[in-house]
Protein backbone atom coordinates (compact mmCIF):
# COMPACT_ATOMS: atom_id res chain seq x y z
CA UNK A 1 0.00 0.00 0.00
CA UNK A 2 1.34 3.41 -0.96
CA UNK A 3 1.68 6.04 1.74
CA UNK A 4 2.08 8.95 -0.64
CA UNK A 5 -0.07 11.92 0.36
CA UNK A 6 -1.40 14.31 -2.25
CA UNK A 7 -1.44 17.93 -1.12
CA UNK A 8 -2.87 21.11 -2.61
CA UNK A 9 -1.63 24.71 -2.58
CA UNK A 10 0.84 24.04 -4.03
CA UNK A 11 -0.05 20.71 -5.55
CA UNK A 12 2.47 18.01 -4.61
CA UNK A 13 3.02 14.43 -3.48
CA UNK A 14 4.77 13.77 -0.14
CA UNK A 15 6.14 10.62 1.43
CA UNK A 16 8.29 9.75 4.45
CA UNK A 17 10.30 6.54 4.35
CA UNK A 18 12.05 5.01 7.36
CA UNK A 19 14.97 2.58 7.17
CA UNK A 20 16.63 0.12 9.50
CA UNK A 21 19.97 1.95 9.20
CA UNK A 22 21.95 4.44 7.13
CA UNK A 23 23.25 1.74 4.79
CA UNK A 24 19.68 0.83 3.76
CA UNK A 25 18.87 4.51 3.26
CA UNK A 26 21.98 5.02 1.12
CA UNK A 27 21.13 1.99 -1.03
CA UNK A 28 17.62 3.39 -1.61
CA UNK A 29 19.02 6.84 -2.52
CA UNK A 30 21.45 5.30 -5.02
CA UNK A 31 18.62 3.46 -6.78
CA UNK A 32 16.29 6.49 -6.60
CA UNK A 33 18.94 8.61 -8.31
CA UNK A 34 18.89 6.27 -11.32
CA UNK A 35 15.12 6.71 -11.66
CA UNK A 36 15.45 10.50 -11.40
CA UNK A 37 18.22 10.58 -13.99
CA UNK A 38 16.12 8.53 -16.42
CA UNK A 39 13.14 10.89 -16.03
CA UNK A 40 15.18 14.08 -15.92
CA UNK A 41 13.25 15.10 -12.82
CA UNK A 42 14.71 15.51 -9.34
CA UNK A 43 12.31 15.58 -6.38
CA UNK A 44 13.10 17.43 -3.18
CA UNK A 45 14.69 15.06 -0.66
CA UNK A 46 15.64 15.59 2.96
CA UNK A 47 17.14 12.79 5.00
CA UNK A 48 18.69 11.84 8.30
CA UNK A 49 20.36 8.69 9.58
CA UNK A 50 17.32 6.46 9.12
CA UNK A 51 14.60 8.46 7.32
CA UNK A 52 13.93 10.16 4.00
CA UNK A 53 11.29 12.79 3.18
CA UNK A 54 10.47 13.19 -0.50
CA UNK A 55 8.35 15.89 -2.13
CA UNK A 56 7.37 15.56 -5.78
CA UNK A 57 6.03 18.84 -7.09
CA UNK A 58 5.49 20.26 -10.57
CA UNK A 59 7.49 23.33 -11.48
CA UNK A 60 6.02 26.82 -11.79
CA UNK A 61 2.61 26.08 -10.29
CA UNK A 62 1.68 23.43 -12.82
CA UNK A 63 -0.44 20.40 -11.92
CA UNK A 64 0.80 16.92 -11.10
CA UNK A 65 1.32 14.89 -14.25
CA UNK A 66 1.47 11.20 -15.04
CA UNK A 67 5.28 11.45 -14.84
CA UNK A 68 5.06 12.67 -11.22
CA UNK A 69 2.71 9.83 -10.32
CA UNK A 70 4.89 7.30 -12.12
CA UNK A 71 7.93 8.52 -10.20
CA UNK A 72 6.12 7.96 -6.90
CA UNK A 73 5.15 4.44 -8.00
CA UNK A 74 8.70 3.68 -9.18
CA UNK A 75 10.14 4.84 -5.85
CA UNK A 76 7.58 2.76 -3.98
CA UNK A 77 8.60 -0.31 -6.00
CA UNK A 78 12.24 0.02 -4.90
CA UNK A 79 11.49 -1.50 -1.50
CA UNK A 80 14.17 -1.74 1.18
CA UNK A 81 12.36 0.56 3.61
CA UNK A 82 10.34 -0.11 6.73
CA UNK A 83 7.47 2.29 6.07
- Model pLDDT for residues 33-81, shown as the tens digit of each residue: 999 999 999 999 999 999 999 999 998 778 999 999 999 999 999 999 9
Length of the chain, in residues: 83
29 near 11, Cβ under 8 Å? no
**Amino acid 9: pLDDT:** 86
Q: What domains are there in the chain, each with its CATH number? A: 5-77 (3.30.1360.20)
Residue 2 has pLDDT above 90, yes or no: no
Dihedral sign of CA atoms 3, 38, 45, 48 in order: positive
How does strand 12-18 pair with strand 5-7?
antiparallel
- Model pLDDT for residues 13-23, shown as the tens digit of each residue: 999 999 999 99
pLDDT confidence band for 5 (50 / 70 / 90): very high
Mean pLDDT of 23-36: 97
Cα distance between residue 48 and residue 56, in whole Å = 18
Amino acid sequence: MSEWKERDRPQRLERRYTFVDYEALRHFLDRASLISEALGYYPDMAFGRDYLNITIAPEDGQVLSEMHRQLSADLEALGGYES
